[in-house]
Amino acid sequence: MGRGKIEIKRIENTTTRQVTFSKRRNGLLKKTNELSVLCDAQIGLIAFSNTGKLSHYSSHPYRMDQIIENYQRSTGTHIMHHGHAHDQEDLLTEMAMLRRQNLSLEMGIQRYLGEGIAFLQYEELTKLEGELQSSVARVRKRQEKDSMLIKFV
Protein backbone atom coordinates (compact mmCIF):
# COMPACT_ATOMS: atom_id res chain seq x y z
CA MET A 1 0.00 0.00 0.00
CA GLY A 2 1.51 3.32 -1.09
CA ARG A 3 1.43 6.73 0.44
CA GLY A 4 -1.44 9.07 -0.27
CA LYS A 5 -1.06 11.95 -2.70
CA ILE A 6 -0.21 15.32 -1.21
CA GLU A 7 -1.37 18.64 -2.57
CA ILE A 8 1.50 20.29 -4.40
CA LYS A 9 1.75 23.81 -3.02
CA ARG A 10 4.38 25.94 -1.30
CA ILE A 11 5.18 24.76 2.22
CA GLU A 12 4.72 27.79 4.49
CA ASN A 13 6.79 26.59 7.47
CA THR A 14 10.42 27.41 6.61
CA THR A 15 11.89 24.55 8.66
CA THR A 16 9.55 21.99 7.13
CA ARG A 17 10.22 23.45 3.66
CA GLN A 18 14.00 23.09 4.12
CA VAL A 19 13.71 19.52 5.43
CA THR A 20 11.42 18.58 2.53
CA PHE A 21 13.81 20.17 0.03
CA SER A 22 16.75 18.26 1.49
CA LYS A 23 14.96 14.90 1.45
CA ARG A 24 13.53 15.36 -2.04
CA ARG A 25 16.85 16.66 -3.37
CA ASN A 26 18.59 13.54 -2.07
CA GLY A 27 15.94 11.36 -3.70
CA LEU A 28 16.28 13.27 -6.96
CA LEU A 29 20.07 12.92 -6.90
CA LYS A 30 19.75 9.18 -6.27
CA LYS A 31 17.28 8.74 -9.16
CA THR A 32 19.46 10.90 -11.41
CA ASN A 33 22.49 8.74 -10.67
CA GLU A 34 20.50 5.54 -11.29
CA LEU A 35 19.22 6.85 -14.64
CA SER A 36 22.73 7.87 -15.64
CA VAL A 37 24.21 4.45 -14.78
CA LEU A 38 21.38 2.29 -16.13
CA CYS A 39 20.97 4.16 -19.41
CA ASP A 40 24.48 5.57 -19.87
CA ALA A 41 22.92 9.04 -20.06
CA GLN A 42 24.63 12.40 -19.72
CA ILE A 43 22.80 14.17 -16.93
CA GLY A 44 23.41 17.56 -15.36
CA LEU A 45 21.30 18.75 -12.45
CA ILE A 46 21.50 22.18 -10.79
CA ALA A 47 19.30 23.19 -7.85
CA PHE A 48 19.32 26.07 -5.40
CA SER A 49 17.58 25.78 -2.04
CA ASN A 50 15.52 28.73 -0.81
CA THR A 51 18.57 29.74 1.26
CA GLY A 52 20.64 30.00 -1.91
CA LYS A 53 22.70 26.86 -1.29
CA LEU A 54 23.81 25.24 -4.54
CA SER A 55 23.36 21.51 -5.19
CA HIS A 56 24.57 20.03 -8.44
CA TYR A 57 25.21 16.68 -10.06
CA SER A 58 26.86 15.64 -13.30
CA SER A 59 26.98 12.06 -14.48
CA HIS A 60 30.37 10.38 -14.47
CA PRO A 61 32.67 10.77 -16.42
CA TYR A 62 31.26 14.08 -17.67
CA ARG A 63 31.75 17.46 -16.05
CA MET A 64 28.92 19.97 -15.76
CA ASP A 65 30.52 22.32 -18.31
CA GLN A 66 30.72 19.46 -20.84
CA ILE A 67 27.04 18.67 -20.34
CA ILE A 68 26.10 22.35 -20.70
CA GLU A 69 28.19 22.67 -23.87
CA ASN A 70 26.46 19.59 -25.29
CA TYR A 71 23.09 21.14 -24.40
CA GLN A 72 24.07 24.40 -26.11
CA ARG A 73 25.14 22.57 -29.28
CA SER A 74 21.91 20.55 -29.33
CA THR A 75 19.56 23.49 -28.78
CA GLY A 76 21.51 26.33 -30.38
CA THR A 77 21.35 28.36 -27.16
CA HIS A 78 24.21 30.00 -25.30
CA ILE A 79 24.13 29.61 -21.55
CA MET A 80 27.85 29.57 -20.94
CA HIS A 81 30.46 30.78 -23.39
CA HIS A 82 33.45 28.48 -23.62
CA GLY A 83 36.39 29.87 -21.68
CA HIS A 84 34.26 31.97 -19.34
CA ALA A 85 34.01 29.44 -16.53
CA HIS A 86 35.38 31.98 -14.05
CA ASP A 87 32.73 34.49 -15.12
CA GLN A 88 30.10 31.83 -14.56
CA GLU A 89 31.54 30.98 -11.14
CA ASP A 90 31.50 34.68 -10.24
CA LEU A 91 27.88 34.94 -11.38
CA LEU A 92 26.92 31.82 -9.43
CA THR A 93 28.63 33.22 -6.33
CA GLU A 94 26.89 36.57 -6.76
CA MET A 95 23.55 34.85 -7.37
CA ALA A 96 23.96 32.78 -4.19
CA MET A 97 24.81 35.95 -2.25
CA LEU A 98 21.75 37.74 -3.66
CA ARG A 99 19.55 34.77 -2.78
CA ARG A 100 20.84 34.92 0.82
CA GLN A 101 20.20 38.68 0.94
CA ASN A 102 16.71 38.16 -0.46
CA LEU A 103 16.00 35.48 2.14
CA SER A 104 17.24 37.78 4.90
CA LEU A 105 14.97 40.58 3.67
CA GLU A 106 12.00 38.21 3.42
CA MET A 107 12.63 37.02 6.98
CA GLY A 108 12.76 40.66 8.12
CA ILE A 109 9.41 41.35 6.48
CA GLN A 110 7.95 38.22 8.08
CA ARG A 111 9.12 39.42 11.50
CA TYR A 112 7.46 42.80 10.98
CA LEU A 113 4.26 40.91 10.15
CA GLY A 114 4.62 38.85 13.34
CA GLU A 115 5.46 35.62 11.50
CA GLY A 116 8.46 33.46 12.34
CA ILE A 117 9.15 35.11 15.70
CA ALA A 118 8.70 31.99 17.82
CA PHE A 119 12.45 31.28 17.83
CA LEU A 120 13.68 34.82 18.49
CA GLN A 121 15.64 35.53 21.66
CA TYR A 122 14.37 38.08 24.20
CA GLU A 123 16.87 40.71 23.02
CA GLU A 124 15.80 40.25 19.40
CA LEU A 125 12.14 40.56 20.36
CA THR A 126 12.89 43.75 22.32
CA LYS A 127 14.75 45.21 19.34
CA LEU A 128 11.87 44.27 17.01
CA GLU A 129 9.38 45.88 19.40
CA GLY A 130 11.39 49.11 19.37
CA GLU A 131 11.56 49.12 15.57
CA LEU A 132 7.81 48.56 15.34
CA GLN A 133 7.12 51.36 17.85
CA SER A 134 9.30 53.71 15.76
CA SER A 135 7.37 52.72 12.65
CA VAL A 136 4.04 53.34 14.37
CA ALA A 137 5.29 56.76 15.53
CA ARG A 138 6.28 57.68 11.94
CA VAL A 139 2.88 56.55 10.64
CA ARG A 140 1.05 58.61 13.28
CA LYS A 141 3.19 61.67 12.52
CA ARG A 142 2.35 61.33 8.83
CA GLN A 143 -1.36 60.90 9.63
CA GLU A 144 -1.31 64.07 11.73
CA LYS A 145 0.40 65.95 8.91
CA ASP A 146 -2.18 64.72 6.39
CA SER A 147 -5.09 65.52 8.71
CA MET A 148 -3.78 69.08 9.08
CA LEU A 149 -3.63 69.43 5.30
CA ILE A 150 -7.19 68.12 4.97
CA LYS A 151 -8.47 70.70 7.49
CA PHE A 152 -7.05 73.55 5.40
CA VAL A 153 -8.59 72.32 2.16
Q: Does residue 80 contact residue 63 with C-beta atoms inside 8 Å?
A: no
Query: What's the mean pLDDT when you consider all of the chain?
Result: 86
pLDDT at site 11 = 87
Helices (H), the chain: 14-39, 64-75, 85-112, 122-152
**pLDDT-based confidence at 7, cuts 50/70/90?**
confident
pTM: 0.47
**pLDDT-based confidence at 88, cuts 50/70/90?**
confident
Please report, for residues 29, 31, 48, 91, the alpha-carbon distance to residue 24 in angstroms, rounded to integers and kept in the order given.
Answer: 9, 10, 13, 26
Q: What is the pLDDT of residues 63-84, one digit of tens each?
A: 888 888 888 888 888 765 555 5
Instruction: Enumerate residues 6+ apart whose C-beta is below 8 A from 22.
Output: 49
Return the domain boundaries, the chain. Answer: 14-75, 84-151
CATH number of 14-75, picked from 3.40.50.1110, 3.40.605.10, 3.40.1810.10, 3.40.50.2000:
3.40.1810.10
**pLDDT-based confidence at 27, cuts 50/70/90?**
very high
